[in-house]
Amino acid sequence: MKNKFLGTGESGYRPLRKIATVFSGLRYAVLYDFSVTYKLILSALILPLAFGFRGWIDFLIVLVATTLVVMAELFNSAIEAICDFIEEKHNEKIKVIKDIAAAAVGVSVFLWIIVISLELWQLLSVFFPIAD
């Protein structure tokens, strides 16, 4: 798409190309970043169960927490890649930039772990009810 400020790129709006770009980025993240892969797998196991039990609120909470954590992981991977591209050697400024990006992941992972743990606990208590 044409950059209005820089005057670079091609003019026109191509939605199909945009969708292909999204899937290309996701493919890289899922194939090369295990921290994205395992979170998606775990959430993908819980989401159909929540949907099946008609737990719409649970479904939405898991979906939101997973989306947040995956978004943070994707931004973090992109920032790490830019940092490694511009500076291969140890650099204190790069350290600060990477640590901030990693902190964003940490915060979202914290929320995701709480949500996933509570949902798993709830699902397990349905399948294996504790006798009174």
Residues for the chain: how many in total?
132
Under a CB-based contact definition with an 8 Å cutoff, are residues 66 and 112 in contact?
yes
Interaction of residue 110 with ligand ATP, rule CB under 6 A: no
Q: What CA–CA distance (Å, rounded) separates 18 from 50?
A: 31
* Binding of ligand ATP by 97 (CB under 6 A): no
Fill in the per-residue mask, 8 to 47: x = in contact with ligand ATP (CB under 6 A), - = not in contact: ---------------------------x------------
Task: Give the integer Cα–Cα distance in Å for 71 and 108.
Answer: 9
> Which listed range, 11-19, 21-29, 57-65, 97-105, lies at the site for ligand ATP (CB under 6 A)?
97-105
* Gap between the Cα atoms of 87 and 53, Å rounded: 50
Is residue 104 a contact residue for ligand ATP (CB under 6 A)? no
Residue with tokens 């493919």: 27
* 76 close to 39: Cβ distance less than 8 angstroms: no
78 makes contact with ligand ATP (CB under 6 A) = no
Q: In the set 51, 61, 98, 120, which binds ligand ATP (CB under 6 A)?
A: 98
Nearer to ligand ATP, 60 or 96 (CB): 96
